[in-house]
Amino acid sequence: VYAYCQAQTGPEWATLTALLRTAGEGVLADLWAGPSTVPATTDTDFVVLDIHDLQDAPDTVRRAQYLNVLGYLWDLVRADRSERKLLVVDEAWMLIDAQAPEALKFMKSLSKRIRKYGGSFMVVTQNIADFLAPAIAGDGEQVLTNSAFTFLLRQGGKDLQALTELFSLSDAEQDKLTNARVGEGLLIAGNQRAWITVDTAPHESQIMYGKS
């Protein structure tokens, strides 16, 4: 597309070429102009997309690629309704941007529609307060509350304040979350709440921490 725009004449084409330049030239061009590195379909049981390096990309590139990733995963979910799928977005706070809320709106849509396709949606994040910034609070709140289960680990500061307002946490619950140890947290399932401790099995500890 960029090469085609370059070959055209006229002020409109010049403007479009300028807008596409960061995607068509330089070190980031392969993100857009190169062949895809992910299959259109897959029969594997576990798919991981590592987007860590996108943290260093310009804002416009990062936001667009986040949407590309979510769109690709959504296509996988919809491909076969008979197959149960779990879509997990880890470190979801990285996708939150009040100035570019498209990724958040996409996640809100996923949370509402994924059950129709035999899927489940899990959001894992810190910095909860980012989801509830005034400009995006409506969408962010729906992502956080449209869940059958919510598990809150240790919290503090603005995040605890935001969660207290969102889930009407009691003083006792706030105190426990402030002083929670590793693996301890508040499980919310509808109107039911329970304080639980999650212990790792030896083989899980070996994988995650390199020790049993």
Both tokens of 196, joined, read: 């639980």
The mean pLDDT of 21-38, rounded to a whole number, is: 72
3-state secondary structure of 182: coil
| Full-model pTM | 0.77
Calpha distance 131→144 (Å, rounded): 8
In the predicted structure, residue 206 carries a pLDDT above the cut 90: no
Look at residue 210 and tell me whether its pLDDT is greater than 60: yes
Q: What pLDDT, in 10s, does the model give residues 30-39?
A: 666 666 677 7
- What pLDDT was estimated at residue 24? 80
pLDDT top residue among 47 and 167: 167
Q: How far apart are the first and last CA of the chain?
A: 53
Domain 38-146: give its CATH architecture: 3-Layer(aba) Sandwich (3.40)
Residues of the chain with CATH 3.40.50.300: 38-146
pLDDT tens sequence across 106-147: 999 999 999 999 999 999 999 899 999 999 999 999 999 989
Q: What pLDDT is stored for residue 212 in this prediction?
A: 52
Q: Which amino acid is at 97?
A: D
CB 100 within 8 A of CB 63: yes
- CA of 207: how far to CAs of 3, 181, 211, 212, in Å? 46, 21, 8, 9
